[in-house]
Amino acid sequence: MAVACGEQAAESRTVPRHVAIIMDGNGRWAAARGLPRVAGHRAGVQAVRRAIETAAQLGVEWLTLYAFSSENWRRPLAEVLDLTGLLRHFLRSEIAELKAQGVRLRFIGDRARFERDIQIDLGAAERDTAHNSKLNLVLALSYGGRAEIAAAAQAAARAIAEGTLDPAALDEDKFAGFLSTAGIPDPDLIIRTSGEQRLSNFLLWQCAYAELVFLDLLWPDFGPEAFDSALAEFARRERRFGARPG
């Protein structure tokens, strides 16, 4: 799939190293067509495939997708089963292709809440793709930013109690090492589809200096052009990381 680039040639603009996406609007996409919500989630998986391909083409090194939030468990059981069923199918049907594309997979979130077979497939997908380096794909599953920070605080407190960590040494970098994203660069750009303008508990620690782009389209309609226009918008932003303009 070729990406036709907008105003600025893709080669000459600043490409975010890490793009994270809040994929929103599957339900509305389905409702607009008189279809059940699951049809929207299925179309959402197609959009996931396109996003992975496009990220690799555009030179993005890290792509994080918010595929299942810790709050999503509160949806009706039938929808939770649809979403976990799609995840199971994705893990079984896509891994060979992702491996061939040079994608390295990693998962963040509370994987212990998923059924045992899914947990096994998650571990296998990470192991099978561990040597790939074309694109790092992080799927946030049963993920919540506040829970992640609380778990990191617990782990740091435990290390202090055991005497392996000096409290005075617990600076931002050290703390980040206790998060599930340890070793992953912070996102440069966070995209949210569906017109909603909030973070919904996504990467709360990591998004400190991320640029936010909100797109007025529903996730199943997200394709190469929308991805490219979000990157073009990112390239127009001036990032100062709190410093004064030079």
With beta carbons less than 8 A apart as the criterion, state whether 227 and 54 touch: yes
- Site map for ligand FPP, 216-235, x if CB under 6 A? ---x----------------
CA angle 64, 194, 8 (to 5 degrees): 65
Q: Which residues of 157-175 are buried (b: 16+ CB within 10 A; e: fewer)?
A: eebeeeeebeeeebeeeee
Quote the least distance from Cβ 201 to ligand FPP, whole Å: 13
Q: Which is nearer to ligand FPP, 114 or 219 (CB)?
A: 219
- The residue among 24 and 228 lying less far from ligand FPP, judged by its C-beta, is 24
Which x/- pattern, by CB under 6 A, does the window 15-54 give for ligand FPP? --------xxxxxx------------x--xx--x------
Please report how close the Cβ of residue 27 comes to ligand FPP at its closest, in angstroms. 2
Task: Identify the CA nearest to 55 among candidates 224, 245, 218.
Answer: 224
Residue 108: closest CA among 81, 84, 141: 141
CB 166 → ligand FPP: shortest distance, Å? 40
Cα distances (Å, whole numbers) of residue 242 to 3, 84, 126, 208, 210: 33, 40, 36, 10, 12
Catalytic residue among 26, 72, 82, 216: 72
Residue of minimal CB distance from ligand FPP? 27
Contacts with ligand FPP in 73-102 (CB under 6 A)?
A: 83, 86-87, 90
Using the structure block, give the residue that is written with the tokens 């810790």: 70
26 given a catalytic annotation? no
Residue whose structure tokens are 């569906």: 194
Is there a catalytic annotation at residue 132? no
The CB-of-65 to ligand FPP minimum distance in angstroms stands at 6
Angle between helices 77-100 and 37-58 (to 10 degrees): 30
H-type helices in the chain, by residue range? 26-32, 37-58, 77-100, 116-128, 145-161, 172-176, 224-236
137 binds ligand FPP (CB under 6 A): no
What CA–CA distance (Å, rounded) separates 182 from 104?
Answer: 16
Question: Cβ closer to ligand FPP: 152 or 230?
Answer: 230
- Closest separation between CB of residue 25 and ligand FPP, Å? 4
Q: Catalytic amino acids?
A: 24, 72
Contact residues toward ligand FPP (CB under 6 A) are 23-28, 41, 44-45, 48, 67, 72, 83, 86-87, 90, 139, 194, 219
